[in-house]
Structure 1
């Protein structure tokens, strides 16, 4: 067997290692469950403010809903289709389902025990009384009974189940009551289902005069869950019958779009049809029930829903904790994170307004515009630390009203329901600009919103395209074409996050503004690729998927390998949401063996297994889960001191590299490159919200060492932004 030397030790040559061996990789689904477990930890951590703990409870549950709707449903479909192909960690679809069940059940038990035994008492101690109906006094019951008759009863439709009434369709993510009633005359028992209506609030507050008293004053909030108000008024729904018992249950259905694009003559209409199917949902994949549900009711539900015992998740207490987000709306700021107001980047301060024209003189008001700032020097913005509205929204709005702007081109993957960006694009079209918008209709769970905006844009003459068959357009790009004297100049924004002002307050992302000629030319080629028949194969600066991105990243990693082999100091730091791609991971293993020092900041799924002797012992992986959702992608390569750093929209996943249109831009401004390196350094030093991935796939939370202060990267970045 061939051997070589590394740091004085004898190791096997790369050629002798089979990097296809499953032992070198972590399972994608289990890695995601580990991520969601880190989300749950924020709800368990007493350092997290009380209402924020409820928020993380809600996020954990909401994440699980989507996981079952998409990932678990996909595995179940593979099992039904008798797919025997192994995941690259060597597990069949059925084995993965078993692994998921084994890993997830303890997390669900932990979540509900924490909620019932820790958080509910703490809420009460802070004046938030989420009560059970049996805890109410007579006045409170009278109020809620009246509320039921006036507000709830008219909305509810009880559905009997008997030979003349087949088991009703249970909609996705709906909360329901399984009710057993008895005919007092015949002693015959019947099964019925009552849906808890989503059009009503999940939690019913009592008026101040009926709230629990705290030291002689009304508590901050007192109320009960909606389903309990329904359950204790079932006699109104089944008059003349005796209510025997009732039990809450909730189901999750397959909700992934099954779209054959090649056969869809009109993609927009085809997706609208698929969305109608999703509203009612596909096959059931999970049944959540209360643990005290009797065997007869349980077996009836399983039979009628065509589920097995493996699909059942028992819960002690309330079902559907995703609704805990309700309590974040309470005006109790002392139990939330300290409010953060994004700052305006220094170079974008004191700009005149986008449509600042004096209507009497038609003269432009004093002050610089955003194009002047970008011409001077590239601008980097970091959200939510720096304002999305004062940068990205203002950039597009300037373009909409600037008389010298000829055209605006944008990719929209996800945007908000009241999007100021779309409104600016509409204004631009009305102002005579040539506006082209790539709306990605296949953005999962945002399809309906995107269809709405696509129709709005088309109605005012915007040229709307829906992407390429077989590819999602995930890139975050804006290009503004402007006439300046006798020349045409292109201004670009290349980002890591969606053009959504709401999520920009919650997600960490970067955006680069530039008017560099080569970047403008590359964006022109990308938009031609998206809207026409261009099949561009080369780009001047950008890494573009699925064209050249995979090869460029592999080349950058291999360059570090060669530098390390030749006595240099190979170094890679990469931050992203997920690392799944087998080829990228195996190349990182080769880099590690060559002596390249690699730090990875992976928020969610990571299939790379760090710490394997002579394979990945030069690779460290951390995940940061905190107040903001880490969403930015940054890639740093040492390059023997000629450092290169990139930002963009893509993770290292097969879907990003092969099945999506993505764009990664190099950072060509030295000052901006240093700023990004500083951000990476701050994150690598985090000992408050950072977790270290172990070789067995588990994570250990970092803690401050002795005489070492707590360092939260997000808090530090907020403090730095506030000083700008």
Structure 2
């Protein structure tokens, strides 16, 4: 439980409670078994990134001797590091218990995850062959020597530390790197109706005698370890380097960043643990965490399905958007009316189709788009290259500093640049996080703009599992403003004024304060006053304080926050009128939606921005107004469906206990399933 010691919940501790909600999904017996394993993987992957970024940041504050209270919600950095480690150890312990329970349930389904001591005779030949043909050629084995410095351990890679007791009481240590190129889960031949899986870790343990057959040892053992390094990028000041070169060098340097976490198998003997920590220069002040037999449980995200659809969520078939056809010109359709695509309920194909149409249309003169994260194989990128080859002026603002996607974005940037695309590499001091596209088309000897603006990345892969809104529009008011943002990318010493959209870093806080002040004035005047917010995270203390002010004035505030929430709801005299829930379910809730009553004439925005300091002050973000009456109603309906969720909604309160929202009716409402039915019913009504 996270203790409240002032008006804010510490963001790091709040994030850990979010990850605890992910772990709740792994524990939920109503979630299909293999999906539960995959939630274990998501929990572990989240934790890796947390240590690389947030824990590393707090550690830097502590090492700088700043204490960090002003940055960390009233908690000293050293105390926070200690508290984080305590919580993580407890969460790790819980996750191991959940994993064991899932594996027991899998046995009941004739799926056996075995270790090296449980290998059956029928599998010996297969494993031996697999080791020599698939594993041994790619194996990296490092013999450790007292007189030789320990080789640099890769960030987040898993290693087996091998200890051999040789004759004359000599200890010989070695490291085996578990390469990412190896399949973590080796599916063995079925025996009857039973399926068998062995982790590559245990296959290596089984094969130790083959790996180390040149050593004359009396005993041999292997335990897993993992080190996590600071994931912050540090840029040098060499003016002769291009921005791409600086990013490339920083990504390479990240691989040798300072250790921020060392996780080891809790059964590892003290002698070996001490040897390793001395070799790696790790002391007890660092986050040294005893764990289970297996690390890098993020790999469970790709646990094999074994053809068992009954142990997976049913795949949904993405729906078409009512009256927006992939078989007709999207330009013609949206020239008359705005349309909203809500992935993954709707197909992402609309975005690719629109860009492909623009690439081929002789009347299209230019395409401008922002890119933050692309799919590994991106049809968006190929469409833009196609457009450039067809003589369109294509401008892409790509964010090379998209965390952990830097290398992929550099590769795409170089590829597009080689094909004639005009590449813009962000704005000095700011990340470009806005999600938008403006297309200029010549019609009747005049230029008319078309485009889209979104809450999420233009990424085919994540669009299958992230919920996001994308507005397709030919509204010249909005598109004129969006075009100014692209002008800002090219001439960023000039600050533009916008009549319709809300932009960071120059206007977001001021504009949002104005919208909240309007609700405060209406509440004081006895008029309708409410605010409904849906986003990923809420950590800006300025925004929190403003919502506290609105609450004290009588404005009713409902918030759906998936992740970090530094605001404390339901506190008498401070936040009586604020309620907050969090939904963690099959899809990752990624939509950002702001609804202001405006005395029953709602003002509604979709946005790329969360209410975090970084999104408000340090990034280029766009919040787009919704003017279409039908879409405004749709977004209000979607928010209300999410708010009524009584299956996957957790209550966020000052106790931070992640309690589930209790149903006030007999009907179970699971928002993500209800939303799919909502769109399906819309189609059925239109076809009737």
TM bin (shorter chain): over 0.9
Provide Cα deviations, 1:207-227, integer angstroms capped at 9, x if missing partner: 2xxx3x4xxx342x3121112
* 1:206 and 2:188 are equivalent in the alignment: yes
Report the alpha carbon displacement of residue 41 of structure 1 after superposing the two structures with TM: 0.4
Provide Cα deviations, 1:634-662, integer angstroms capped at 9, x if missing partner: 00011112211100100101100000000
Deviates more, 1:629-638 or 1:231-240: 231-240
Other structure's SS at 2:126 match: helix
* 1:613 and 2:572 are equivalent in the alignment: yes
How many Å separate the matches in 2 of 1:535 and 1:351? 42
How many Å separate the matches in 1 of 2:8 and 2:311? 41
* 1:709 and 2:667 are equivalent in the alignment: yes
Kept in 2, the 8 Å contact 1:183–1:241? The answer is yes
How many Å separate the matches in 2 of 1:449 and 1:547? 29
Report the alpha carbon displacement of residue 263 of structure 1 after superposing the two structures with TM: 5.3
* 1:70 and 2:60 are equivalent in the alignment: no
* Residue of structure 2 aligned with 1:633, choices 578, 582, 592: 592
From the superposition, tell whether residues 263 and 84 of structure 1 become closer, same or farther in structure 2 (CA, over 3 Å). Answer: farther
How many Å separate the matches in 2 of 1:376 and 1:98? 58
Aligned partner of 1:405 in structure 2 is 364
Kept in 1, the 8 Å contact 2:519–2:597? The answer is yes
Aligned partner of 1:385 in structure 2 is 345
Report the alpha carbon displacement of residue 407 of structure 1 after superposing the two structures with TM: 0.4
Aligned partner of 2:202 in structure 1 is 228
Q: Which has the higher contact order (CA 8 A, sep 6+)?
A: 2
State the 4+ residue runs in structure 1 displaced beyond 3 angstroms: 260-265
Q: How does 1:271-350 map to 2 (within 5 A)?
A: 271-278=247-254, 280-309=255-284, 311-349=287-325
* 1:156 and 2:156 are equivalent in the alignment: no
Aligned partner of 2:98 in structure 1 is 114
Aligned partner of 2:68 in structure 1 is 85
* 1:454 and 2:410 are equivalent in the alignment: no
Aligned partner of 1:251 in structure 2 is 227
Provide Cα deviations, 1:8-48, integer angstroms capped at 9, x if missing partner: xxxxxxxxxxxxx9611000001000000000100000000
Q: How does 1:567-586 map to 2 (within 5 A)?
A: 567-586=526-545
Q: How does 1:222-621 map to 2 (within 5 A)?
A: 222-238=196-212, 239-242=214-217, 243-260=219-236, 265-278=241-254, 280-309=255-284, 311-349=287-325, 351-352=327-328, 369-389=329-349, 391-533=350-492, 535-621=494-580
Q: How does 1:634-673 map to 2 (within 5 A)?
A: 634-673=593-632
Kept in 1, the 8 Å contact 2:397–2:426? The answer is yes
How many Å separate the matches in 1 of 2:582 and 2:622? 24
From the superposition, tell whether residues 512 and 534 of structure 1 become closer, same or farther in structure 2 (CA, over 3 Å). Answer: farther
How many Å separate the matches in 1 of 2:421 and 2:24? 46
How many Å separate the matches in 2 of 1:618 and 1:321? 41
Kept in 1, the 8 Å contact 2:558–2:580? The answer is yes
Deviates more, 1:328-337 or 1:541-550: 328-337
Kept in 2, the 8 Å contact 1:55–1:328? The answer is no
Kept in 2, the 8 Å contact 1:479–1:520? The answer is yes
How many Å separate the matches in 1 of 2:21 and 2:345? 23
Report the alpha carbon displacement of residue 351 of structure 1 after superposing the two structures with TM: 2.8
Other structure's SS at 1:24 match: coil
Report the alpha carbon displacement of residue 514 of structure 1 after superposing the two structures with TM: 1.1
Determine which structure has more spread, i.e. the larger CA radius of gyration. 1
Report the alpha carbon displacement of residue 697 of structure 1 after superposing the two structures with TM: 3.0
Kept in 1, the 8 Å contact 2:224–2:293? The answer is no
Kept in 1, the 8 Å contact 2:515–2:596? The answer is yes
Q: Normalising by the residue count of structure 1, what TM-score does the alignment of the two structures yield? A: 0.91
How many Å separate the matches in 2 of 1:327 and 1:498? 25
Report the alpha carbon displacement of residue 190 of structure 1 after superposing the two structures with TM: 1.8
From the superposition, tell whether residues 468 and 644 of structure 1 become closer, same or farther in structure 2 (CA, over 3 Å). Answer: same
From the superposition, tell whether residues 447 and 603 of structure 1 become closer, same or farther in structure 2 (CA, over 3 Å). Answer: same
Alignment root-mean-square deviation, CA: 1.7
Provide Cα deviations, 1:376-404, integer angstroms capped at 9, x if missing partner: 11111111111111x21111111111111
Provide Cα deviations, 1:550-571, integer angstroms capped at 9, x if missing partner: 1000110011111111222220
Other structure's SS at 2:88 match: helix
Report the alpha carbon displacement of residue 478 of structure 1 after superposing the two structures with TM: 0.3
Provide Cα deviations, 1:337-361, integer angstroms capped at 9, x if missing partner: 1111111112212633xxxxxxxxx
Report the alpha carbon displacement of residue 58 of structure 1 after superposing the two structures with TM: 0.4
Q: Normalising by the residue count of structure 2, what TM-score does the alignment of the two structures yield? A: 0.95
Kept in 2, the 8 Å contact 1:261–1:470? The answer is no
Provide Cα deviations, 1:480-519, integer angstroms capped at 9, x if missing partner: 0000112210012010000001111110010111111211
How many Å separate the matches in 1 of 2:79 and 2:417? 47
Q: Gapped runs of 5+ residues in structure 1? A: 1-20, 353-368
From the superposition, tell whether residues 701 and 448 of structure 1 become closer, same or farther in structure 2 (CA, over 3 Å). Answer: same
Kept in 2, the 8 Å contact 1:112–1:317? The answer is no
Kept in 2, the 8 Å contact 1:262–1:469? The answer is no
Other structure's SS at 2:315 match: coil
Alignment length, in residue pairs?
Answer: 675
Report the alpha carbon displacement of residue 261 of structure 1 after superposing the two structures with TM: 7.1
Q: How does 1:53-68 map to 2 (within 5 A)?
A: 53-68=36-51
How many Å separate the matches in 1 of 2:32 and 2:166? 50
From the superposition, tell whether residues 550 and 90 of structure 1 become closer, same or farther in structure 2 (CA, over 3 Å). Answer: same
Q: Gapped runs of 5+ residues in structure 2? A: 684-688
* 1:719 and 2:677 are equivalent in the alignment: yes
How many Å separate the matches in 1 of 2:108 and 2:537? 40
Provide Cα deviations, 1:418-459, integer angstroms capped at 9, x if missing partner: 111111111101111110000100000111111111111111
How many Å separate the matches in 2 of 1:218 and 1:52? 21
Report the alpha carbon displacement of residue 329 of structure 1 after superposing the two structures with TM: 4.2
